[in-house]
Amino acid sequence: MDPFADYSLDDFLENDAFVRWVKYPDAGQNRYWQQVASAHPHLVPVMDEARRRIREMAQFYPDVPESDVTDLWQRVQGQIRPQPVRRFRPLWWAAAGIALVAGWFIWDTGQPVEKVREMVASVSGSATREIRNTGTQVQIITLSDGSTVSLEPSGTLRFDTTFRERREVYLSGDAFFQVRKDPAHPFFVYANGLVTKVLGTSFRVTAYERDPRVTVQVRTGKVAVYPSEAAGPHPESAGLLLTPNQQASFLREELQLSRGLIQDPRILVPKENLKRFVFDDAPLSEIFDALEKAYGVRIVYDEEVFARCRITTSLTDEVLFEKLNVLCKVIGATYQVVDAQIVVSGSGCTE
Amino acid sequence: MNDSTGSFPGNNRSRMADDKQIWDAYQQKGAFAELYNFYVRDLLRYGYRISSDRQLVQDHLQDLFVHLWNHRDRLGHVQEPRFYLYKSLRNRILRSIESNRLIPTVDGVLSEEWFPDGVDAEPTWVETEHRHRELTRLQAALERLPVRQQEVIQLRYYHDFSTEEIARIMKVNEQSARNLLFRAVRQLRGQLPSAILLLLFSQPV
């Protein structure tokens, strides 16, 4: 008798052997299910659908921030009673090791003891790798997912041995991130109370221990930032969504998060496309449109006031503000950056 | 330490071997930090699924680990450590909730109304932004299931428990667990069209 003749999608989803094969395939099972498929060609699309669903359902679980793991470890540590020495000798050895590491941190960094304790706790709580740039050059770190981190001197990067599964890193200092795209596994940077969440993009995080401010500057892609104090199932709603050439500043004491433009906004379109941005006696609105597209910014101005301004120019790979300085000089205007927007004001042009 | 902490080791069998190894090291040598690190993420994932009150879940998980520390010598009888930990966490969480709202149904199976449905379903702007890329239609539909159905799906397809084990964890008979799983799978199918509509309407303009 052939058990598979009348199999439906639900039957495959409920078949333990099938589920096990989809999640943990091996050669023997491959052979078995291939035989089933070739004996029942009509089942092939059903099996494909069942495999797709099982894979997706296997990824169905709530986000667990790494900070929850370290916080909980500290809470557990605070509550457990010391045990007789003899029975727990291995732990005592571990403790001695930790004390040694702690000593090294104090000696090496001169950091306040509290910070040291925080680091030690997480070192002992989970298998953490820590990379500290003690040199004078930028150190490039390639993570196991293919993302790279350019760590500036004196910066520290920490991540867990489970990094492959949860893309989470802890930064102290200044680093530029180029994150490999993987929509199913967002990449998180935790830095001095600010969380940066991305899918795949490049950006810089600056978070020095002694600096009251944390900044995140975005080069490409989209980035969500939010205070790590933010709670609930969607902490991002307490934060900002940043697009290229934008930056967020976070004041750690005040828990204040604000949006702005980075200091040197760069052209976002590919260089070869710049040839199209050549203007001959063109209206100002056309040029501003092009700038908005090229730099991903928003320019606010009174179209009527500047209706008669015509300009001959071209776009090159220069910093936005240099370009604006020149343009504004020509039309006798000034500009201000307000909340990541550029506001141009002036009295317009005569013929 | 072990790189396969938590979810997807090479195959099912090696995970069971890891479970045993970690538990034995804790039993015989007091390797408590390793035990914590090996299980804590999966236990949080499970706890956060059955209660949206994350603080409450953390409180009970803290108690559970403190219990493991204090009663190591009394836990020698535990044969299936992973099963034991999930069940203990679930009992602790539900016991504290049950005193507040327990709604038994006629057939003796506890109602799916234990927890408010759809607490997690409210998309924020970032979620909406990511949703059509990050979550497939099926994932969106999963989030709209009653919480107990979400739980059974996660236990079955993520944590790899059999329906028999799920029944013991959820304290129902095996047929009820099986029914719950069937119902979830079937309801998913019913929900898919509306989930697609939801996605269409929630896309940014």
- Residue B148: give its domain's CATH number: 1.10.10.10
Same domain, B41 and B131: no
SS3 category, A121? helix
- Judge whether A5 and A40 are in contact, CB under 8 Å: yes
Specify the DSSP element, H or E, that contains A321: helix A320-331
For position A346, what pLDDT does the model report? 87
Domain boundary among B100, B116, B134: B100
Same domain, A229 and A317: no
* pTM metric for this prediction: 0.45
Same domain, B96 and B131: no
Q: Which residues contact A273 (CB under 8 A, 6 or more apart)?
A: none
Residue A326 is part of which domain span?
271-346
Overall domain count for chain B = 2
- From B161, which residue of chain A is nearest by alpha-carbon distance? A16
pLDDT at A276 over 80: no
Please tell me which residue, A98 or B139, carries the higher pLDDT value. Answer: B139
Of B13, B30, B18, nearest to B75 by C-alpha is B30
Query: A187-191 and A167-178: which strand pairing?
Result: parallel
Residues 7-66 of B with CB under 8 A from A: 7-8, 10-12, 29-33, 36-37, 40-41, 44-46, 48-49, 52, 54, 58, 61-62, 65-66
- For residue B153, tell me if it sits in a domain: yes
Same domain, A319 and A342: yes
Burial zone of A119 (CB within 10 Å; 0-12 exposed, 13-18 middle, 19+ buried): buried
pLDDT range class, residue B45, cuts 50, 70, 90: very high
Domain boundary among A226, A244, A263: A263
- For residue B1, tell me if it sits in a domain: no
pLDDT range class, residue A305, cuts 50, 70, 90: confident
- For residue B136, tell me if it sits in a domain: yes
Same domain, A42 and A104: no
Distance from CA of B6 to the nearest CA of A (A): 9
Same domain, B181 and B126: yes
Q: Is B134 an interface residue toward A (CB < 8 Å)?
A: yes
For B36, which of A14, A56, A125 is closest by C-beta distance? A125
For position A82, what pLDDT does the model report? 52
For position B98, what pLDDT does the model report? 59
A136-145, B6-15, B62-71, B185-194, range with greatest mean pLDDT: B62-71
Question: How far apart, in whole angstroms, are the C-alpha atoms of residue A90 and residue A102?
Answer: 18
For position B65, what pLDDT does the model report? 94
pLDDT in tens, A321-346: 888 888 898 888 999 888 778 889 88
Overall domain count for chain A = 4
Please tell me which residue, A21 or B98, carries the higher pLDDT value. Answer: A21
Of A242, A272, A59, nearest to B45 by C-alpha is A59
pLDDT in tens, B77-109: 888 899 999 999 998 888 877 554 443 333 333
For position B88, what pLDDT does the model report? 92
- For residue A279, tell me if it sits in a domain: yes
Pairs of CB atoms within 8 A across A/B: 150
Residue B123 is part of which domain span?
102-205
Record the tokens describing residue B3, joined without a space: 């790189």
Same domain, B111 and B193: yes
Domain boundary among B100, B115, B135: B100
Specify the DSSP element, H or E, that contains A149: strand A148-151
- From B178, which residue of chain A is nearest by alpha-carbon distance? A14
Question: How far apart, in whole angstroms, are the C-alpha atoms of residue B179 and residue A38?
Answer: 31
- For residue A1, tell me if it sits in a domain: no
- For residue A2, tell me if it sits in a domain: no
Q: Which residues contact A332 (CB under 8 A, 6 or more apart)?
A: A346, A347, A349
Q: What is the arithmetic mean of pLDDT over A203-210? A: 86
Whether ipTM > 0.85 holds is no
Residue B155 is classified by DSSP as I
- For residue A351, tell me if it sits in a domain: no
Question: How far apart, in whole angstroms, are the C-alpha atoms of residue A199 and residue A223?
Answer: 8
- For residue A225, tell me if it sits in a domain: yes
Question: How far apart, in whole angstroms, are the C-alpha atoms of residue A93 and residue A85?
Answer: 10
Contact state of A24 with B125 under an 8 Å Cβ cutoff: no
- For residue A4, tell me if it sits in a domain: no
Please tell me which residue, A12 or A78, carries the higher pLDDT value. Answer: A12
Same domain, B59 and B112: no
Same domain, B25 and B90: yes
pLDDT averaged over chain B? 72
CB-CB neighbors (< 8 A) of A64 in chain B:
41, 44-45, 48
Same domain, A291 and A184: no
- For residue B66, tell me if it sits in a domain: yes
Q: Is A249 an interface residue toward B (CB < 8 Å)?
A: no
Q: Which residues contact A318 (CB under 8 A, 6 or more apart)?
A: A267
Query: Of A59, A67, A166, A223, which to mutate for an interface test with B (greatest number of B Cβ within 10 Å)?
Result: A59
pLDDT in tens, A82-94: 543 333 333 444 4
CATH, residue A281: 3.55.50.30
Same domain, B136 and B182: yes
Same domain, B86 and B120: no
Same domain, B112 and B180: yes
Domain boundary among B77, B100, B123: B100
Same domain, B71 and B129: no
